[in-house]
Chain A
Amino acid sequence: MTRKIGLGFLSICLTVVSAMNISTEAASVEKFYKGKKVKMIVRSAPGGGYDFYARLIARHMAKHIPGNPKMIVVNMPGAGGIVAANYMMLRAKQDGTELAILSREAPISQRSKDVGVKFDLLKLNPLGSAASSTFIVTLAKNHPVKTYKQLRNSKKQVLFGASGPGAGSYTYAALLKQDGFNVKIISGFIGGASRFLAIERGNVHATANSYESTAKAIEELGLVPILYSGAKRSELAGVPHISEQLSAKGRQFAALMAAPLAAGRPFYTTPNVPADRLAVLRAAFKSAIEDPAARLEAKKSKRNVTWTSAQTVEKVNREVLDASDAVIALYKESQKKPKLDYTKLPSVAGKISDVKKKGKSIVVGGKKFKISGKRTKVYVAGKKVKRKALKVGMNCKVMYQKGKKEAVKVDCK
């Protein structure tokens, strides 16, 4: 009996002590943040989605942190967000007073060892993500291709407008191209609106973009969405998922690209933040997103907000960082200017019947070819030579690009 009472007493004591402990912890966090300034680093310049979410969270998060610190937003653009991530890793104070919104592609940058990456996302502490994203491919209203399946089987080349390597608009088009779709990427169109204009002007036929920025163009220009990747949306009912028409290899690549969309607007703080403060920051981040005032502002700005936990962000990061070398090779390959596949080029074989201007132009099999001193590769008996070595009567195979007069490769015996 005494033992039971003793145990009961002990457990009560323990509860009280632990409760006191929690409250002293809360008090110490409150004491720490009181009168402090918390920096919110943005990975891009003012304007655009990342800046919007950073400022939205900065406006509503402070009141949920005990001690109500002041929040200031600092834009730190550079190298597609790598600058900001490096700053958080190496230079920011590790006491929980510096937060940041980093690129959703940061794990891909880290995994593919982009130039300048000095951060490790597994060491940075995620707070969660403020939104999930959806990517879609849309085609011009009157284009003969209307569905994903038709695109797979299209005999006519479909031109995709894109900004440039590294951007989603480019990578998704490159993914389809790598998987054997008859797709050509036209880069240099920066920003969704300029690509929609290029579609309207008839310069290109299709583009890949986030759903949010395409919604209006779908409505106004009648663009036809044919596939999506990332979070499912009710507006896109009936539109197939990207993996539907992809090969197994293509699916792996698509999964790599889709992973970051689940944590589309990820927030982090620095490594080594004391556990109690980290817990408070994560809770405050969640409360900020669920704050009705924040929701209303986001709704008015036509931005979606969905809370994703820090654990999910961590999971996404791990998933990408654990991606196989083969998939990363696919990704890297897609970002490069494609090399010509000699085996697929049309060719003419026969004797050289005429050589003009010291080899600047030759005739083989009745067809005239220009020979560039720089671009055309000329081989005689397996040895690389200059074009002036080409002589009438040599037996050669000439490879060229369809519709072009210039030879790509001349291989003579």
Chain B
Amino acid sequence: MLDAAIDGLLGILEWRAFLLMIVGIIVSSTLVAMPGIGSKTAIALMLPVAFVLNQFEAICLIMSVWAVSNTANSITSILFSVPGGGGSQATIMDGYPMARKGEAARALAAAFTSSAIGGIIGAIALFLAIPILRPLVLILGPPEFFMLVMVGVAMVGTLSGKAPVKGIIVGGLGILVSLVGVHISTGIYRFTFDQIYLVDGLKLIPVTIGLFAIPELIYMAVKGTGISDVPLGDLTKGRRQGIKDAFIHWWLIFRSSLIGIWVGIIPGLGSSVADWFAYGSAKQTCSGASETFGKGDVRGVIAVDAATNAKEGGSLIPTLAFGIPGSSTLALIFGGLIIVGISPGKNMLTTDLHLTFSMIWLLIVGSVITSILCLAFTRQLALATTIRPMVLIPIVLSMAVIGSFAASSRFEDVIIMAVFGLIGYFMRFAGWPRPPFLLGLVLGPIAERYLWTSIQLFGGEFLLRPGVITIFLILVIILIYPLISRKFFSGKKNVVSG
């Protein structure tokens, strides 16, 4: 095993491979970080190059585009409230308020740093999982996955802030909207009104951009100021503070990374919810979070970015062991790696173990390099928050439109973005929480599919499986933890005051 680990490391440090990794990182942090160009498109364009590469070089080039895209995706989330990709929606929640308070540099630095640490933790988890990779995935069947998703649903409450009822209503609406389209397990058309666009349901990216970016644009236009209305202060100091923040909250990073890894392991759940789960859990467990989260608390940024990058290690677990890609991007990557003779399955844990290790090393080395690279440009990026709205609004608006359109080249997506932009604007000003809507939209179909398959297989008895009961107990603990802790803390306060 040690030999394989060293082989893997040497493989990606060989100069050509290393150089290709840098190319991948640069593509990922510039092109992919812009809304509209997903890592999938970038990878599809790079695949033909793989025909002339060796195995390590191909891993370095193709996987680095994917492995580090989360880090730079936070940039537009923090600066403009436009998510750079599916996984960086929750970064907006506290990152954007920080930018508005003139703390863009601190938010970016904290995001980049925690992203690097999260990436490393994810890679270590993958490394530790190697001996138990296959048994681990084998004990998790559709019933267990269903329950794991339910744990996520329990987060809806915490994401709703002080208005849990509003949160549940919005989450329910999200699930309702997610029902639109062909039901995958039965082929029944639901709420499609014979419109071909609705057959595939509403897509996450246009809805997210609409809910989060458009309201900010309207707000900026009405107010007539830039993103940040306070002077920026010393950017270098802000950056230093952000890095420091990440290390002060190392325990939060660790917890959030575990959440990321857990989400990564569940196929289909993937990128678009790890950030929300981490955010919800941070909000629930950090002291005083209910007051400060959503108003520019650096912990909100740290938790999210650690989790989104850590989940990549987790998502490699089912992919490497069984060839079940944790996300469609991974499906594309491993489709491409076949070109150089790498195919996921048992062999990745035996004869090709050195390749698995090279991927683990890539996650570690790539994350660190990307973060350093991004940190270097933090000051320049932060200046974007001072651009005048006359200049900024058209730029961000075009980012939003392109971002919505590019994923599937359909104009209807832009209309959806606009409609949800209006809805988001009213929600924002009426004090309705927006994240539960996205959770409902993402989790609804996944939960339904696992539930459907579980019932077909075991009937109602699937609820009695030991794994399901164990996860259910965890869910109960998550639900009652805030009540207990509130009682505990309020009791303590009474003692102090009394």
Contact = CB atoms under 8 A, between A and B. Distances in A.
B322 A197 contact: yes
Contact of A336 (B187, B346, B449): B187
A194 B322 CA distance: 8
Nearest to B47: A55
A201 interface: yes
A164 B44 contact: no
Interface string A161-192: 00111100000000000000000001111110
A144 B210 CA distance: 55
A193 B322 contact: yes
Interface stretch (A75-83, A121-129, A310-318): A75-83
Chain B interface size, as a band, is 35 or more
A383 interface: no
B43 A46 contact: yes
A193 B408 contact: no
B51 A47 contact: no
B138 A187 contact: no
B343 interface: yes
B184 A78 contact: no
A25 to B, nearest CB: 33
Contact of B456 (A52, A59, A187): A187
A187 B196 contact: no
Interface in B336-358: 338-341, 343, 345-346
A51 interface: yes
Interface in A55-104: 55, 59, 73-79, 82-83, 86
A47 B187 contact: no
B194 interface: yes
Contacts of A216: 323, 343, 345
Given A78-B408, A188-B450, A116 B142 contact: no
A201 B456 contact: no
Contacts of A191: 324-325, 331
B335 A48 contact: yes
B453 interface: yes
Given A188-B142, A220-B345, A335 B187 contact: yes
Contacts of A190: 184, 268, 449
Contact of B185 (A83, A116, A188): A188
B187 A164 contact: yes
B192 A115 contact: yes
Given A46-B41, A336-B187, A186 B457 contact: yes
Interface in B374-425: 408-410
Interface in B43-89: 43-44, 47-48, 51
Interface in A123-163: 159, 163
B52 to A, nearest CB: 10
A74 B409 contact: yes
B164 interface: no
A203 interface: yes
A301 interface: yes
Interface string B301-336: 000000000000000000000111100110110010
A301 B346 CA distance: 19
Given A203-B457, A220-B345, A297 B51 contact: yes
B204 to A, nearest CB: 13
Interface string B183-208: 11111110010111101100000000
B247 interface: no
B410 A203 contact: no
A371 to B, nearest CB: 18
Contacts of B323: 193, 196, 216
A276 interface: no
B40 A45 contact: yes
Name the residue among A46, A48, A337 with the largest chain B CB count within 10 angstroms. Answer: A46
Contacts of B195: 116
A222 to B, nearest CB: 12
27 contacts: A45-B40, A46-B40, A47-B335, A55-B47, A77-B408, A78-B199, A86-B196, A116-B194, A164-B185, A165-B186, A187-B184, A187-B186, A188-B456, A190-B268, A191-B324, A191-B331, A193-B324, A194-B267, A196-B323, A198-B141, A200-B138, A201-B138, A201-B141, A216-B323, A296-B51, A297-B48, A301-B335
Please name the 4 residue pairs, one residue from A and one from B, whose CB atoms are nearest each other, closest first: A165-B187, A116-B196, A47-B332, A188-B453
Given A48-B332, A78-B200, A79-B182, 4 more contacts: A59-B48, A186-B456, A191-B331, A193-B324
